[in-house]
Structures are given as C-alpha cells and as structure tokens.
A and B are shown apart, each in its own frame.
Chain A
Amino acid sequence: MPNQSLRVLTPDGRPPEEQPRWRQDFPIDTADDNYVARRDFTKFMVLISASFVAGQGWIALKTLTARKNGNGEGSARAIAKVGELAVGQTAVFTYPGEHDTCLLVRSAENEFLAYGNKCSHLSCAVIPDVKAGKLNCPCHHGVFDLATGRPLAGPPRRPLSRVLLEVRDGTVYATGVEERTV
C-alpha cells in the first residue's frame, strides 16, 4: 500500500519542473528508478539489434577468410607410424596448430580415422569408444559416430571436424582439416 501523501521533495523545495535534468535521470523513488521510457527502450533495442547484425557480419567474414586460407588441404605432417597403433588403438596428436588436439583411430587393419577432438557442442574433449564405434563426450553425454564423426545423440548438432589422412611408406600423414557444418 503506497503512502499517498508522499510528495516528490527536493532539498531546494522547488517544483519538479524547475529541477535540473539530472534529477529525472537519478530519481530517488524506486518506482521512478524502475521506469523505462518507451523511447529509451526502443533505443536500447535498436542498438542491441544493430550489434547482433554486426556480429553476424563479423562471423560471416571470418568464416569466408578461414575457408580461403586453411580449410581443406594444408601442409602434410607425419603424425604416427602404422606399426605404432594396433587395430582398435587410438592416439592424440595436434594438427594444424599446437592447440588443435585431434584423435587418430586405427579402426581396421588398413583404415585410419582422425577427428578434431573438440565436441561441437561446448568444446569438451571427446573420448573414443572403438569397440562400440562411438566417440563420447563426457560433459553433456554427447555421442558421435566413430566412422563418420557425425552426432548420434545428446546436445551436439554438428559433426566433428575431420582430419584428412594419407598413408605413405608406413607413416600416417595429416594433410588437411575438413570443417563440416552438416
């Protein structure tokens, strides 16, 4: 029950219309403090929307330049000897940068698979389960297909990035990264 007799009082005792502008911007009463003018709200909405649009543009630009520079074929790097991994064994390597950790899996006698091990949901490291043919993310129980890197269950919607491999003279080379969105 608000006190009806509560008047807007100021130290100099002059009416609200004669008060300086800042007094309207910094009101003392809670109700006035919570009040948001329609014009202020619209300004806020426009600014936020504009920043979202700019952000989308920035992401688009970044994706385009990234595709031009590095996606697909890159420099080849030896990551493992064929003899080092038994069938069903996995190894961790970094490619192309030193912070881009990837998983190498020998799924069959002559079949090597490699994926970036960052879950496409929130970038947790995925854990391979070769017997079940799956890659599990422990953070939110995301599951990926080991054969394709595509999501099977849980929150991730996009597949893991695939590392292109080449086997020459008993050595496995990583030759590029295929970033996939579907």
Chain B
Amino acid sequence: MSVSSNLNFYIDPSRCIGCQACVQACSECETHKGHSMIHLEFIDRPHTTQTVPVVCMHCDSPTCAEVCPADAIKRSPDGVVQSARKPRCIACSNCVLACPFGVPKMMSDFELMMKCDMCYDRSSVGLKPMCASVCPSQALFFGTREELELSRPQSAPIDRFKFGNQTITTKVKMMAPRRAVPEHLDVTAAMEVHAPARTVRLEVLNGAG
C-alpha cells in the first residue's frame, strides 16, 4: 500500500476561512486518533483574521529525519515522511526545533514525536486525508493535477521553499497566483515583509489626522 503518485496534496492558504474543520477532522484520523496534528495558524492576528493550515509538507530532504539522533523518522517509498517510530523515538524534540515548517509535535505524555503523515491509512488506499475531505473551501485539496487545473484556472502549484540558505522541495504543493508563479517561496525573507495593506491603511489614517 502506498500513496498513488498521481494523487497530490495542495494547500491554498488564501482559501482558508479558519473554520477549524480540518483540526477536528485530523483528530479522527486512525493513525493518531484523538490527537490533532494539523496546525491552523493565524498569520498576523492583531491585523487580520487570515489563517493558514499547516500540514506536513513531506520534504525531499526531510530536515526532521536529518537531525533525528535516534534514526526514528523514515520516509516511505511514495515520499511520505512518517511519524516517528515509537520503539526508536527518544522524545528529544530535535525534529520539532529543526522542521522549517514547524510541523512535528512532541507528545510528552507518550514521550513520542507525532506528526502529520498525510493520513497514511487513508491516502495509501486512495482516500483523501481527513482534513482535505472536510475542508469546505478546499484550501486543503487532495487529488489529481488535472482536477486541480480544471477547478482553479487562476492558480498554479509551487513546491520549492527557501529558508535562509536551505531550499526545500516538498511533496505537498502550495498554490500561488498563476500570473506570477515564483520559482520558490523565500519564507524567511517574507517574514520581514509587512503586509502592504497595513501600510496603506496607516497612511490613510495619518492623512485624515
């Protein structure tokens, strides 16, 4: 059993409405039942209600596995980086600190790192992961590229992310506007950039004052 190579996971943060359905659905997944592994993050909470769902991006060169001193994190042949193996994990939290996307969760109660494994029990038999099956705005989409292109002509997927000097190619793809698809997304540089809308609003206020 493995995830079919023509099925892919696509995230479109601009579609996220912050409804928490994915968070609830995630905890129903059989591979980590009762524990939600998805992160639903607010981008800039004082200024916007925009949220972004973060699932494991299943990197080509998984940093979590690179830094694991116990050799506990393994990637299956279909490119899915699996949760830490219980007999090996020593709960050192190295992966939690190392993951550029902040995906792994340290479950101190079990002394075990747990992370999103793309609902391997479901996706490996052709079903959608729990979060993608419930997302009402399809910010989390699991399916073929053809389906995606048909339903979203305005956007195109990217799978390269830059963190400082490290460029990561991921199995999970993120949607970007089709008219300006970047070669990669420079995440660390983007953290320094302030939202242009905020600057405009401040100028308007200053002018009014």
Contacts and interface: CB of A to CB of B under 8 A. Distances in A.
B73 A2 contact: no
A9 B169 contact: yes
A33 B5 contact: no
A65 interface: no
B77 A28 contact: no
Interface string B1-21: 010110000000000000000
The residue in A3, A9, A33 that gathers the most chain B C-beta atoms within 10 A of its C-beta is A3
A2 B77 contact: yes
Interface residues of A, number: 16
Contacts of B79: 3, 6
A29 B5 contact: no
Interface of B is mostly: loop
A30 interface: yes
A29 B5 CA distance: 17
Interface stretch (B39-47, B55-63, B182-190): B55-63
A1 B75 CA distance: 14
Interface size class of B (residues with CB under 8 A): 20 to 34
A66 to B, nearest CB: 39
B60 A3 contact: no
A4 interface: yes
B61 A29 contact: no
B123 to A, nearest CB: 13
B141 to A, nearest CB: 19
B160 interface: no
A45 to B, nearest CB: 23
Contacts of A3: 5, 77-79
Nearest to B78: A3
B66 A28 contact: yes
B126 to A, nearest CB: 11
Given A1-B2, A9-B60, A28-B62, 8 more contacts: A10-B61, A11-B66, A28-B65, A28-B66, A29-B76, A30-B75, A30-B77, A33-B71
Enumerate the 9 nearest inter-chain pairs by beta-carbon distance, A residue then B residue, closest first: A2-B77, A9-B61, A28-B65, A9-B60, A30-B74, A3-B5, A26-B71, A3-B79, A30-B76
